[in-house]
Amino acid sequence: MSEIRAAVLTVSDRCSRGETEDTSGPALAAMLRDRLGAEMVEAACVPDEVQRIERALRGWTQPERRIDLVVTTGGTGLAPRDVTPEAAMRVIERPHAGLMELARARCLGITPRAYLSRGVAGVAGRTLIVTLPGSVRGATEQLGALLDVLPHAVETLRGEVQDDGRPDAKATTGRVVAHGD
């Protein structure tokens, strides 16, 4: 598999105004680089405004950008200005609820507050979008809960995987991946 091309979007009114330092975005970028070997190709910070979030996501999911994975941090909670899931769903063409279900379930043993995140995931074009909480702890825990499945998700989205291991599978258009689990 070639290197995953990733981008991180921080959604925060205060960070976008320069009133506080963005710590979640850089922490996620470091995890993606260090634990997935991802190439970080974009990072930005926008306020909690649906149109601004949507514009950033639409720009990054354009085919010519060749970004495999966009991770957002912030705006997934219950506060009135938490609108990241709504903005992401304007861009996502094929929702994938299972990814965030997995993240929340795996984080339950750490804190039941993982279920307060309304984060969503899905595909726009050939880009996987995952929306995470805004705190460093919540964002890194939920991303950490997905790190083992993200490479295969990206490979599949790229069209590099034809089959996930049926014993009689023969490669015709992609490669056959046999999983031990």
Report the chain's C-alpha Rg in angstroms. 16
Amino acid 164: pLDDT: 54
How far is residue 75's CA from residue 117's CA, in Å, rounded to a whole number?
9
The residues, ordered by sequence, that sit 6+ positions from 120 with a Cβ below 8 Å of its Cβ are 85, 88, 89, 92, 95, 97, 100, 129, 131
Amino acid 162: pLDDT: 66
Which domains, ranges and CATH numbers included, belong to the chain? 5-176 (3.40.980.10)
Tell me which amino acid residue 143 is: L
How far is residue 107's CA from residue 81's CA, in Å, rounded to a whole number?
24
User: Mind listing the pLDDT tens digit of every residue in the chain (181 residues)?
Assistant: 689 999 999 999 999 999 999 999 999 999 999 999 999 999 999 999 999 999 999 999 999 999 999 999 999 999 999 999 999 999 999 999 999 999 999 999 999 999 999 999 999 999 999 999 999 999 999 999 999 999 999 999 998 886 656 666 666 555 656 555 5
Can you list the positions of beta strands (E) in the chain? 5-11, 39-46, 69-73, 94-95, 121-124, 127-132, 161-163, 175-176
pTM, full prediction: 0.92
| Structure tokens given for 157 | 């989205």
Residue 1 Cα distances to 34, 37, 80, 145, 159, angstroms: 16, 11, 41, 21, 11
